[in-house]
Amino acid sequence: MATQNESEEVRGLEGVIALSSELSSIDGEAGQLVYRGYDIHDLAENASFEEVVYLLWHGDLPTQSQLDALKSDLRTARELPAPVIDILRQAPDSAHPMAVLRTAISALGLYDDEADADSPEANRRKATRLLARTPGIIAAYARLRNGDEPIDPLDEASMAYNFLYMLNGEAPGSAAEATFDTCLVLHADHGLNASTFTSRVIGSTLSDMYSAVSGAIGALKGPLHGGANREVMRMLLDIDQKGADPVEYVQEKLASKERVMGFGHRVYRTMDPRAAILRDRVQELSEERNATKWYDYSMAILNTVKSEKGLDPNVDFFSASTYYMMGLDPDLFTPIFALSRSAGWTAHLLEQWADNRLIRPRAAYVGKTGRTVTPIDAR
Ligand code: CMC
């Protein structure tokens, strides 16, 4: 059994190797992200989200017939239970979008007869159902809170296409579909990040997939994790609304010891490769539209944070302006992250359960010792 001196704490578990995984690896010095041996640049360029899902779940990229079978399984599984749509309908306007998603995903488990079945086959079917239903939940929520009714997905379209179609009620252009598909590929997995670790901790107790993914959504919601993408866009919009100079705006934040959302990372010591891919995408979109405002603000902020703090952007910095330029509501940015990361969470759960051991670290006790109880009337 591995032991560690109980008085030693590794703050935030930095650098701790908690488990082994074949799913994705990050080289923080080189700024490299790899899913099952494939560099993220290669996948972003040459594979669809569905192919990446297959890769994460099965270990290899699919053949055409394997991909067709996965798409058919996803299509068959995607209808939302009516009571889950009712939950979305009843969500208060004030609810956090990630709280709504977390609740709806948890509720999916109530209407899945296999929720507590623990065979590998049942878990694969649940992974398929979870992933297939998440886009419909987010799109239905977005429409309902705008007073519109949910829209059914189309049969033969990709997940990226169908999400945008269900959201907007019109066919997305091929460029929008491709950009969104790339975003899904980029966010699908990322080592033992906080939400993935959460999902594996829950899974390691032999709890069920809905519990583990709901917990992961709760972790992703936080602004230090996936919630950062919405905060980045709020910052850009605030700069714009105030007519502020982005350099001065960020300098003031740093001077008052505030964090600039979308910068810094626990593992990367250089630019997050996903941020580099999305930076190029934002630049292309800006040039195509002859509207470079968000790109210009972003680059001014990037250069300022780099020169003042030595920090590089992470994926959330450029996903914000990418999504915004696609017309997506900032409230949906983190739910969209969850949609993509569901592929990774479920793959990690399948991996966890294939060789499970309870994840249960220890805390260094720093509280009082040696006390004795005084009877309550004498305290
Ligand atoms: N803005 C300003 N200062 C920062 C930032 C930032 N975004 N990130 C780190 N620092 C500073 C921090 O104040 C500290 O400085 P000092 O040593 O002077 O006190 C130093 O850098 C180290 O920070 P840390 O908090 O110990 O680093 P960490 O590894 O615990 O935190 C992080 C990583 C991602 C939580 C952090 O960089 C951060 O809060 N970033 C902003 C939120 C964000 O963009 N999150 C998305 C993360 S990546 C994608 C995802 O998972 O969604």
192: three-class secondary structure by DSSP: strand
- What number does the ligand 1 atom closest to the CA of 264 have? 37
Q: Please report, rounded to a whole number, the percentage of residues in the chain having pLDDT higher than 90.
A: 97
Name the residue with the closest Cα to ligand 1, atom 13.
Answer: 259
Q: Is the Cβ–Cβ distance between 278 and 322 less than 8 Å?
A: yes
Structure tokens at 277: 């891919």
Q: What is the pLDDT of residue 4?
A: 57
Nearest to 93 by CA among 150, 148, 149, 145: 145
Mean of the per-residue pLDDT values of the chain: 96
Name the residue with the closest Cα to ligand 1, atom 6.
Answer: 259
Q: Please check the confidence at residue 90 and state whether its pLDDT lies above 90.
A: yes
Q: Which residues of 245-272 are buried (b: 16+ CB within 10 A; e: fewer)?
A: ebeebbeebbeeeeebbbbbbebbeebb
- What number does the ligand 1 atom closest to the CA of 11 have? 30
Structure tokens at 171: 């066919």
Calculate how far, in angstroms, residue 111's C-alpha sits from the geometric centre of ligand 1.
Answer: 39
Average pLDDT estimate for 9-34: 97
Calculate how far, in angstroms, residue 224's C-alpha sits from the geometric centre of ligand 1.
Answer: 7
Q: Tell me the C-alpha distance between 307 and 303, whole Å.
A: 6
Residue 7 DSSP one-character state: T
What strands, in cross-sheet order, belong to the sheet with 24-27? Answer: 24-27, 32-35, 38-39
Average pLDDT estimate for 202-230: 98
Q: What is the pLDDT of residue 84?
A: 98
Strand partners, 34: 25, 39
Four-CA torsion 271, 273, 278, 281, nearest 10 degrees: 110
Tens-place pLDDT, residues 313-367: 999 999 999 999 999 999 999 999 999 999 999 999 999 999 999 999 999 999 9
Q: Is the Cβ–Cβ distance between 77 and 130 less than 8 Å?
A: no
Q: Is the Cβ–Cβ distance between 351 and 22 less than 8 Å?
A: yes
Calculate how far, in angstroms, residue 12's C-alpha sits from the geometric centre of ligand 1.
Answer: 12
- What fold characterizes domain 24-223+331-354? Citrate Synthase; domain 1 (1.10.580)
Q: List, chain by chain if needed, residues with CB within 6 Å of any ligand 1 atom.
A: 12, 193, 224-226, 228, 259-266, 309, 311, 314-316
Q: What is the pLDDT of residue 7?
A: 63
Nearest to 235 by CA among 246, 221, 248: 246
Q: Tell me the C-alpha distance between 73 and 79, whole Å.
A: 12
Q: Tell me the C-alpha distance between 343 and 54, whole Å.
A: 9
Q: Tell me the C-alpha distance between 121 and 364, whole Å.
A: 40
State which of 197, 253, 266, 277 you would mutate to test the pocket of ligand 1, scoring each by most atoms of that ligand within 8 A of its C-beta.
Answer: 266
Give every CB contact of residue 1 below 8 A, 6+ residues apart in sequence.
none
- What number does the ligand 1 atom closest to the CA of 12 have? 30
pTM of the predicted model as reported, rounded to 2 decimal places? 0.97
Banded model confidence at residue 6, pLDDT cuts 50, 70, 90: low
Q: Identify residue 262 by its one-letter amino acid code.
A: G
Handedness of CA 135, 137, 140, 145 (dihedral sign): negative
Q: What is the pLDDT of residue 3?
A: 52
Name the residue with the closest Cα to ligand 1, atom 35.
Answer: 224
Q: Please check the confidence at residue 152 and state whether its pLDDT lies above 90.
A: yes
Name the residue with the closest Cα to ligand 1, atom 37.
Answer: 264
- What number does the ligand 1 atom closest to the CA of 232 have? 44
Name the residue with the closest Cα to ligand 1, atom 41.
Answer: 261
Q: What is the pLDDT of residue 376?
A: 98
Q: Tell me the C-alpha distance between 341 and 105, whole Å.
A: 13
Separate counts of helices (H) and strands (E) for the chain: 16, 3
Q: Tell me the C-alpha distance between 32 and 15, whole Å.
A: 17
Calculate how far, in angstroms, residue 10's C-alpha sits from the geometric centre of ligand 1.
Answer: 17
Q: Tell me the C-alpha distance between 284 and 302, whole Å.
A: 18
CATH architecture entry for 228-325: Orthogonal Bundle (1.10)
| Sequence ranges of the domains in the chain | 24-223+331-354, 228-325
Give the 3-state secondary structure of 330-362: HHHHHHHHHHHHHHHHHHHHHHHHHCCCCCCCC
Q: Given this chain, do its domains 24-223+331-354 and 228-325 carry the same CATH topology?
A: no
Residue 39's φ and ψ, nearest 5 degrees, are: -65, 145
Banded model confidence at residue 281, pLDDT cuts 50, 70, 90: very high
Calculate how far, in angstroms, residue 225's C-alpha sits from the geometric centre of ligand 1.
Answer: 10
